[in-house]
Amino acid sequence: MTLEFQIGGYRIRLQEREDHPSFFWPVPPFDSFLVQSAEPPDLDFEVKVTGRLPDLPHGRLIFDASHGLWKLYAADSGYLLESPDPSTLEPRSRALISEDFSRVEVWVYQHQALLWKERVGWAPLHIINPTVEVCLATRLAREGGLFLHAAGVLTKRGGEVFTGASGAGKSTIAHFLEANGGRVLNDERVILRKDAGAYLVCGTPWWGDSQLARNQQGRLTGLYCIRHGEGAHALRRLPDRDISLFILRQCVLPHWDRQAMDGTLAFLSELIEHVECFDLAFLKNPDIVDYLEERRLTQPAVPL
């Protein structure tokens, strides 16, 4: 079985050569990201389904995501990523990753079908989360881009991004904009990157409350750092330093890789110079759509 995705401009291939059945698949938010291409993938995963994970030598621990999520170790050929089963915390998959995070050999425990005990297969999501995520986040950051906890919406003004902490209203404002003709790329995670001199917002399949995930992109025309308001909506420009600190708190930061962290900081600094960024305090009211249009099109934002 071979799965190929296009996410944020990257071609990703998962190839399992024994044709074991796949369980808990397909997952609707990933549907529009599936592609067929003769082009070589940017990230290539060779999947091996097994009843026993290989004993691979662990080098020094580079990063521990904690809470039983995953660990990254040094390895002779690059890196070793180990991902546990969340219920037992025992390893569920092991992956050998090349130094450039583009080639991955991954072993995953076979999954037993409950209704057909003789059928043994694998769950693609056990590879996608977290191994594909980690490799994609690292490549993106090294090459100049951000994996951001945010809602991305295509409106008549272009691509608009609303980022904030959990509960700040990303899904709410995305729904209001969609009800007024916008197209939600995702209300939980988007990719920001640069292509041919333009800054883009791209949808990803890692969905949020709405389970909306579209394989589309648009030119980034505005980035909003959002929070709940009191009494009335309020839009203001932020100093560059405040924008950077706010956005960094919402990024999937590749702490495990110095080159990727340097790329993240450089891209963010350049992004802030070229894209309008605002602080937005808003009420949970659909008239926020009219407010944004009026303020952006007819009046300058209130400076800090």
Mean pLDDT by 10 residues, the chain (304 residues): 96 96 90 92 97 94 90 96 91 96 96 60 94 97 96 94 95 94 96 95 90 93 96 93 96 96 97 95 95 72 39
Residue 157 and residue 134 share a domain: no
Residue 303 lies in a domain: no
Residue 135 and residue 156 share a domain: no
- From 119, 142, 165, give the residue that closes a domain: 142
- Model pLDDT, residue 180: 93
- DSSP single-letter state for residue 27: -
CB atoms within 10 A of CB 275: 19
Residue 258 lies in a domain: yes
Sign for the CA dihedral angle at 111, 66, 263, 144 comes to positive
Query: What CA–CA distances, in Å, run from 101 to 18, 44, 104, 128, 276?
Result: 24, 9, 7, 14, 32
Residue 52 and residue 23 share a domain: yes
Residue type for position 182: G
Residue 230 and residue 288 share a domain: yes
- Model pLDDT, residue 274: 95
Residue 26 and residue 71 share a domain: yes
Model pLDDT for residues 36-49, shown as the tens digit of each residue? 988 999 999 999 99
Nearest of 136, 77, 74 to residue 102 by alpha carbon: 136
Sign for the CA dihedral angle at 161, 166, 167, 172 comes to positive
Residue 134 lies in a domain: yes
- Model pLDDT, residue 297: 59
Residue 263 and residue 183 share a domain: yes
- From 87, 111, 142, give the residue that closes a domain: 142
- Model pLDDT, residue 113: 55
Residue 163 and residue 253 share a domain: yes
Residue 71 lies in a domain: yes
Q: Count of domains in the chain?
A: 2
Residue 81 lies in a domain: yes
Residue 304 lies in a domain: no
Residue 288 and residue 223 share a domain: yes
pTM: 0.93
Structure tokens at 224: 């909003």
- Model pLDDT, residue 89: 87
**Domain of 56, in residue numbers:** 2-142
Exposed (0-12), middle (13-18) or buried (19+): which is 196, by Cβ within 10 Å?
exposed
Residue 181 and residue 163 share a domain: yes
Residue 31 and residue 163 share a domain: no
Residue 257 lies in a domain: yes
The CATH number for 279's domain is: 3.90.228.20
- From 142, 169, 203, give the residue that closes a domain: 142
Pairwise CA distance, residues 127 & 125, whole Å: 5
Sign for the CA dihedral angle at 61, 62, 65, 69 comes to negative
Pairwise CA distance, residues 133 & 70, whole Å: 11
- Model pLDDT, residue 304: 35
Classified as helix, coil or strand, 172 is helix
Nearest of 131, 129, 117 to residue 21 by alpha carbon: 117
Residue 169 and residue 108 share a domain: no
Residue 93 lies in a domain: yes
Task: Supply the DSSP string of 216-231, one letter for each residue.
Answer: -EEEEEEEEEEEE-SS
- Model pLDDT, residue 302: 39
198-203 and 10-16 as β-strands: parallel, antiparallel, unpaired? unpaired
Residue 177 and residue 80 share a domain: no
- Model pLDDT, residue 295: 78
- Model pLDDT, residue 303: 39
Sign for the CA dihedral angle at 202, 206, 210, 213 comes to positive
